[in-house]
Amino acid sequence: MLFKLQKASGILFALIAGAIIFGFIFWGINYSLAEPKFNTLRLMLVIPAYLFLAVYAYLFLSSLNMAYKAEDDGLHIRWGIRRITIPWHEIEHIIHVKGKSNFYSVFGTSWPGHMIGLYIAKGLGSVRMYATHPLKGFVYLKSARGFYGLTPLEKDLQVMLDMISQKTGHKVNTLDMDLMDPEIKGESMHDDPFFKILFWLNVIFLVIFAAYLGMFYPGSGVPHFIILLLVLAVALFFFSISNAGRLYQFSANGGYVLLVIGAAVTGIFMILALSEITLK
């Protein structure tokens, strides 16, 4: 039996955002380092950018082809070209997780409505997510091969749970994350007002920097190299927000500091651009 996932609009967001971000990064590197004397530096930046693009494209294309299928030998997860099989006899626990979980990424990626890769759900444990809209709840399977998080269509959820229970001989347990002790579940960075302020401060600084260069760089006569500052600011933004989220789960102050450093460095880049374009 084939189980489809809940529909999500995040794929369109990932396509548009990825095209804009990677398009700007490649243009910015080649434009700012067009002179032959920068060939080595350009190569040092372009190669990692292509590697990140390849990983991003693989994750994106794989997410277009994701489903679950119950067969005689076990539950199969289809994700892109990968086929993951969880034999029925290896499934040890079935948990229907309800409510909003507190996730953080170990090695995974997410965009609106999608979550792929290895995550930690505070109060529950590690889980390999192949899911859409997991913050609304998911099916948590503990097996000898690992722990998996699945999100079938709402109308198929009970059918999947009953089928897995019948095939494995294990009962379905229910865990409501909204009722879990806050000390165990921990505070989500998305619910932390100060974390959100620092996150949006990074966004605002980046937007202001881009807008400033867009308005005052054309015709200024300054070296093309100044555009590289914005490229580095974009890369720093994604590095800061992704790692601040991980660090926050172990130390909230550590997450704050990383976001402050990100905003501060972007601010320094803006000052350098200002001194070259307007104040010179």
Helix axes 226-248, 10-32, angle to 10 degrees: 140
H-assigned helices in the chain: 10-32, 39-63, 154-168, 182-185, 193-216, 226-248, 252-277
Q: What is the mean pLDDT of residues 112-124?
A: 86
Average pLDDT over residues 142-166: 90
Give the residue-averaged pLDDT of 116-125. 87
pLDDT band with cut points at 50, 70 and 90 for residue 237: very high
What confidence category does residue 192 fall into, taking pLDDT thresholds of 50, 70 and 90? Answer: confident
Instruction: Tell me, yes or no, if the pTM score tops 0.75.
Output: yes
Higher per-residue pLDDT: 104 or 231: 231
The encoded tokens of residue 184 equal 């165990």
The residue whose two tokens read 């972007």 is 266
Q: At what angle do helices 226-248 and 193-216 cross, to 10 degrees?
A: 170
More confident residue, 152 or 104: 152
- Nearest CA-CA partner of 152 in 164, 168, 142, 170: 164
